[in-house]
Amino acid sequence: MGGPLITGKVLFPSFANWIVWCQKQQHRCKFYDNRHANRKCVSQHFQVMNLRDGTVALQEGKPGEMTCKSQRLMLLTGLICPASPGCYHYMPYTVRSMEKLIKLIDQEMQAVGGQKLNMPTLCSAELWRASERWELMGNELFRLTDRHNKQFCLGPTHEEAITNLIASQSYLSHKQLPLLLYQVTRKFRDEPKPRFGLLRGREFYMKDMYTFDASKEAALKTYALVCNAYYNILNRLGLPFVKVQAATGNIGGTLSHEFQLPADIGEDQLMICTNCDFSANTETIDPSKVHCPVCEGKLMEKRGIEVGHTFYLGTKYSSVFNTLVNTAENKPVMAEMGCYGLGVSRILAASIEVLSTEDAIRWPNLIAPYQICLIPPKRGSKEEKGAMLVEELYDSIAQAVPHLIDEIVLDDRTELTIGKRLKDADKRGYPYVIIAGKKIVDVPSLFEVRNQNTGEILFLTREAIVDLLSKVHTS
């Protein structure tokens, strides 16, 4: 018995010290392996890790092919991963961001009376032939034939489908008007040259709304109502945008506007008056014109990324499918229609394009994948005892600010230095990064709090951080 006891004394001078040592190891395991704790940790997230080697992220496409800021950053930070030309895997961080954006869009669409539905991706060729767009759209349509030799296309837009649906319901009561129906779905267009990541792809997410009224006057009021909802969406995101008059293209109709984010890599050329509210896509005016057609002020040329497009369609589609609605006098009339598109995945990429630096993503606050990133000390550092304080801060935020409980992520990769993890956090664009650095061992303990969107750096106690974050809005 003497040998083991002596060995025990060498390893653990007293039983009490041995208990303390075990407790410390238990705490360390709990902190560095949070799989049994209710905390979100970076090490557990599925991400395409290109942050360590920027060259990996830029291998998409042909050598020398033009790229843009949002494409580079989304590839570099593993937000997207190429699947085939113009098609991407959306990684979990991106899906979180997109779901937040869709929630915001839902709020504004439903605030103006929109009702959400889903229509089939497979669209009948018969409907498209009836509107004459089967031929008009040409190679842009992805076409296929089923085993019964019936032809379909993968829907790039759904005017035919929705108009035929409403026609099948007999006459709509005037009490149901204006009828505003919308969906958020994947769309497909056979782009001849996909580029710029999510800005110009073959498969993408779009919100498309279709409206039905009993008169032109009522339809134009609905048009103004939905345009105002688009203003609200883009303003809530804090995005710089301009509404410009636009061509109706292959959608058709007699009135159209685009919502554009000014950007150097934008594919649209815009003319904006420096003196009044006039602005237009050059498709609708003489591109060599230098004076505003409204006030004769100077026109300034800019490039823009189209993120939204609205159309007053009139009876272009309803007359094809005999889509009737009832007036207040119970008289059936041809439905006056409008259609309204928002590029959901394009807004994600375009917001990164216009808000970010060359090296780091900056999100609109409302759609950042996570609002807060906590960075504990490096394992083995002299500040390591601050690890428990990071745990306590996480729990304090979750308890005191319930709407942020799902918005916190802990970068538990403590084998890496704080500097490396901070660099990663900066690239990913968390609005708030909170670091347990050198001041964590001070009395009182102070965390370094970085507001990534303003560049402000504060040193705050746990209580002050909770107070600061209680003012953060997520909707």
Within a domain: 11: no
Residue numbers of the domain that contains 389 = 30-47+370-469
d(CA 127, CA 183): 19
- Are 472 and 432 contacting, i.e. CB atoms less than 8 angstroms apart? yes
**Pair 152, 241 in one domain:** yes
Q: Which residues of 200-232 are buried (b: 16+ CB within 10 A; e: fewer)?
A: bbbbbbbbbbbbbbbeeebbeebbebbbebbee
Do 411 and 351 lie in a common domain? no
Q: Are residues 157 and 257 in the same domain?
A: yes
Chain segment 206-220, per-residue pLDDT in tens = 999 999 999 999 999
Give the model's confidence band at 6: pLDDT under 50 very low, under 70 low, under 90 confident, else very high: very low
Q: What is the pLDDT of residues 272-304, one digit of tens each?
A: 999 999 999 999 988 788 899 999 999 999 999
Phi and psi, residue 109, nearest 5°:
-70, -40
Q: CA-CA distance, 151 to 129, in Å (whole number)?
A: 11
202: domain CATH number is 3.30.930.10
- 38 in any annotated domain: yes
Does 306 score more than 60 pLDDT? yes
- Whole-number average pLDDT of the chain: 90
Q: Calculate mean pLDDT across residues 33-62.
A: 64
- Structural domain includes residue 174: yes
Angle at CA 284, nearest 5°, toward 263 and 86?
45
Same domain, 307 and 444: no
pLDDT tens, 353-394? 999 999 999 999 999 999 999 999 999 999 998 899 999 999
Q: Residues 178-205: pLDDT tens digits?
A: 999 999 999 999 999 999 999 999 999 9
Number of domains into which the chain is organized: 2
Residue 23: the pLDDT is 54
In a domain, 61, yes or no: no
Q: Give me the mean pLDDT over the 405-417 stretch.
A: 96
| Cα radius of gyration (the chain) | 28
The whole-angstrom separation of Cα 462 and Cα 459 is: 10
Are residue 192 and residue 77 in the same domain, yes or no? yes
Q: Please, what's the largest Cα pairwise distance for the chain?
A: 105
CB atoms within 10 A of CB 302: 17
**For residue 12, pLDDT beyond 60:** no
CA-closest candidate to residue 211, choices 359, 105, 314, 357: 314
